[in-house]
Chain A
Amino acid sequence: MRLSDHEQAMLAGEMGPVRQIALRHQIKVGDFFDAPDFVPVTQAHIMADTESLGEAGVAWLEMLANHSIAERRVCIPTITDPRGTDFTKATVLKQASWMLDLEQRAIDAFVKLGVLMTNTCINYQTVQAATRGEHVAFGDTGVVIYSNSVGGARSNFEGGPSALSAGLTGRTPRYGFHLDSRRQGTLRVRTDWTPTTLNEWGALGAVAGRLAGNYWAVPVIEGIDRAPSSDELKHFGAAMASFGSVALFHMPGVTPEAPTPADAFAGRPAPQAVSIGAGDFEAFYAGYAAAGDKVDVVVFAAPQLSLIEMQQLAGLIDGRHIHPETSLVVTTSPEIKFAADRMGLTARIETAGGIVAAGVCFYQSYAREMAEANGWQRLLTNSAKLVNIIAGYGYKPTLASMERCIDSAVAGKIV
């Protein structure tokens, strides 16, 4: 990689060992992907729940945080993805004290590094959305696909160590979705059906993501007959990223880099469209179907809920009671939780027996240990992303609408 004088100095350790470690890591990654140089970034977003970090990751953060203030502080706004625990909900969710200890150590280290503990995977709805052409280093795949596609920003999937490195150096290797040449459509997907519910948007994203199949694919979605909402595109993108490892899609007429289908393919001939239809969605749902089964836990998460989703949920649950043998877990960002508390939404959900956790997401909260401690197996959710992730943690997931999820939580079985 070509290095500027500033980067050469950083690599030589003139700005301290922390930035030197960060830049060395970035050069390894940049060389692997044939990056010609670095590109300045304006924000970094770090995925760093302690279930992922483990002792080794937390010890690494503490090593960095142990340097002087001038050497250790990030140099651009650097924010965090959900944490591994909401300390106020740890007891009811039966999380163990060692998890809280590890989490607290990670938080202390991040604060010393100058990281803003936003603890959210919906920063584009709650903190500051990246704008078109803005180069950023974002973590969580749902954040990246939304920022790239809906915002027109430029980010790769940056894992925690790489995102923190970008925060410390203010730059990232110029490869992947920082390049014009990677942002053109590679796959044309046609649907004759515009989803109406969030789980359906997730299912569409999942089916398209499976078709795309890898990180370097850029699906172009045609046939959507209206402008989707932010929450709809959130579930659509998160599922596509989860099922396909996809980081960018275009939706002609909706997303900013594709006013027309021709723009989506940068003027090159569009490939033959792959049609997806009712049969694809039926097959997708059938893979998770479990009508009549006892439901152990109903989860609204992945991504965290917006204020609008919190209101929808509260409206569906008013005056009802969650079945005593079923748990209902809702996760949102700290800022949305404050708003939901202030507006009485949290109280309405809790009165019905739900648990509202802030600054966490279900699968990032020691899901395997929670399953064992609570005896949870059958999980019901309206998040297509979550059904994809959670089976590996020993759950049996089912996907349904928010309405059916609530009806099932009340009945104690999947209705």
Chain B
Amino acid sequence: MPIVLKCHRGLGPAVTGTALVAQDNFSARYDLDRLKGTFSRPAHKLCGQSYVGRILVLQTAKGGVASAWMLREMAARGLAPKAIVFDRTNTILAQGAAFAEVAIVDRFEAGDPTTLIRTGDEVRIEPDAGLVTILNRD
């Protein structure tokens, strides 16, 4: 039986992908090289790794309001994550995901998703139902 995690109802389409997880935070402006599609902030735990097409699992959204625009531009250039999973988002990433039509969920019943989901897990995100399923583990 896959592991099913309940969360608050999210935004965006249902998607399946490979998780990239860190106990760290997220800002498109502060943390990313959006031209290369990699984390670029030296202090970030995912520095150097590509986020393109991944299910990003992080603790919270940080930094400024720019991410609200940036996700849509990243999606338009094919350099966006497939979905963003937070323990607790701020307003900006929710607004940005709504604008970009990128899937986003947060507020899990079982706690911080960065401790529940592992890098490399195959994960199904269903924002409307408020469900995240880890497909490769029991």
Contact B60–A215 (Cβ < 8 Å): yes
Nearest CB of chain A from residue B84's CB, rounded to whole Å? 12
Q: List A residues 17-75 near B (Cβ within 8 Å).
A: 25, 28-29, 31-33, 47-49, 51-57, 60
Nearest CB of chain A from residue B35's CB, rounded to whole Å? 8
- Contact-size category for A: 35 or more
> Which residue of B11, B40, B41, B91 contacts A157 across the interface (Cβ within 8 Å)?
B91
B120 interface hit (Cβ, 8 Å): no
A139 interface hit (Cβ, 8 Å): yes
> Which residue of B10, B29, B68 contacts A161 across the interface (Cβ within 8 Å)?
B68
Contact A162–B60 (Cβ < 8 Å): no
Q: Which of B13-21, B49-57, B69-77 contacts A (4 or more CB under 8 A)?
A: B69-77
Contact B11–A389 (Cβ < 8 Å): no
> Which residue of A141, A159, A160, A394 contacts B40 across the interface (Cβ within 8 Å)?
A394
> Which residue of B11, B33, B60, B98 contacts A245 across the interface (Cβ within 8 Å)?
B60
A104 to B98, CA, bound (A): 26
Please give me the residue from chain A that is nearest to B72 by CB atom.
A56
A158 to B98, CA, bound (A): 13
Nearest CB of chain B from residue A44's CB, rounded to whole Å? 12
- Known pairs A47-B65, A157-B90, A162-B68. 12 more at Cβ < 8 A? A25-B95, A32-B104, A54-B73, A57-B69, A141-B63, A158-B91, A161-B96, A162-B95, A243-B62, A363-B29, A392-B31, A392-B32
B42 interface hit (Cβ, 8 Å): yes
A115 to B9, CA, bound (A): 34
Interface SS majority for chain B:
mixed
A214 interface hit (Cβ, 8 Å): yes
Contact A242–B91 (Cβ < 8 Å): no
B67 interface hit (Cβ, 8 Å): yes
Q: Which residues of A lie under 8 Å from residue B73 when comparing CB positions?
A: 52-57
Nearest CB of chain A from residue B1's CB, rounded to whole Å? 29
Nearest CB of chain B from residue A228's CB, rounded to whole Å? 23
A343 to B91, CA, bound (A): 41
B5 interface hit (Cβ, 8 Å): no
Q: List A residues 345-368 near B (Cβ within 8 Å).
A: 363-364, 368
Nearest CB of chain B from residue A187's CB, rounded to whole Å? 15
The size of the chain B interface, using a CB distance under 8 A, is: 43
Q: Which residues of B lie under 8 Å from residue A53 when comparing CB positions?
A: 69, 73
Please give me the residue from chain B that is nearest to A54 by CB atom.
B73
Known: A159-B96, A159-B99, A389-B30. A31 touches B65 (CB 8 A): no
A308 interface hit (Cβ, 8 Å): no
> Which residue of B32, B68, B76, B90 contacts A55 across the interface (Cβ within 8 Å)?
B76
Nearest CB of chain B from residue A173's CB, rounded to whole Å? 10
> Which residue of B8, B41, B72 contacts A392 across the interface (Cβ within 8 Å)?
B41
B66 interface hit (Cβ, 8 Å): yes
Q: List B residues 71-123 near A (Cβ within 8 Å).
A: 72-73, 75-77, 88-92, 94-96, 98-99, 104
Q: Which residues of B lie under 8 Å from residue A31 when comparing CB positions?
A: 9
Nearest CB of chain A from residue B93's CB, rounded to whole Å? 9
A364 to B63, CA, bound (A): 13
Known: A54-B70, A216-B88, A389-B30. A242 touches B40 (CB 8 A): no
A388 interface hit (Cβ, 8 Å): yes
A106 to B64, CA, bound (A): 20
Mark A245-260 against chain B: 1 for CB-CB distance below 8 A, else 0: 1000000000000000
Q: Which residues of A lie under 8 Å from residue B77 when comparing CB positions?
A: 54, 56
Contact A57–B72 (Cβ < 8 Å): yes
Known: A55-B73, A56-B76, A141-B65. A391 touches B98 (CB 8 A): no
A326 interface hit (Cβ, 8 Å): no
> Which residue of A25, A242, A368, A393 contacts B64 across the interface (Cβ within 8 Å)?
A242
Q: Which residues of A lie under 8 Å from residue B134 when comparing CB positions?
A: none
A204 to B121, CA, bound (A): 40
Contact B66–A392 (Cβ < 8 Å): no
Q: Which residues of B lie under 8 Å from residue A364 when comparing CB positions?
A: 66
A119 interface hit (Cβ, 8 Å): no
A176 interface hit (Cβ, 8 Å): yes
Nearest CB of chain A from residue B70's CB, rounded to whole Å? 5
A161 to B35, CA, bound (A): 22
> Which residue of A56, A161, A241, A242 contacts B95 across the interface (Cβ within 8 Å)?
A161
> Which residue of B40, B42, B60, B66 contacts A47 across the interface (Cβ within 8 Å)?
B66
> Which residue of A25, A32, A215 contacts B9 across the interface (Cβ within 8 Å)?
A32
Please give me the residue from chain B that is nearest to A241 by CB atom.
B64
Most interface-central of A49, A176, A213, A245 (chain B CB within 10 A): A245
B61 interface hit (Cβ, 8 Å): yes
Q: Which residues of B lie under 8 Å from residue A244 when comparing CB positions?
A: 62
A132 to B88, CA, bound (A): 28
Contact B72–A60 (Cβ < 8 Å): yes
Contact B29–A392 (Cβ < 8 Å): yes
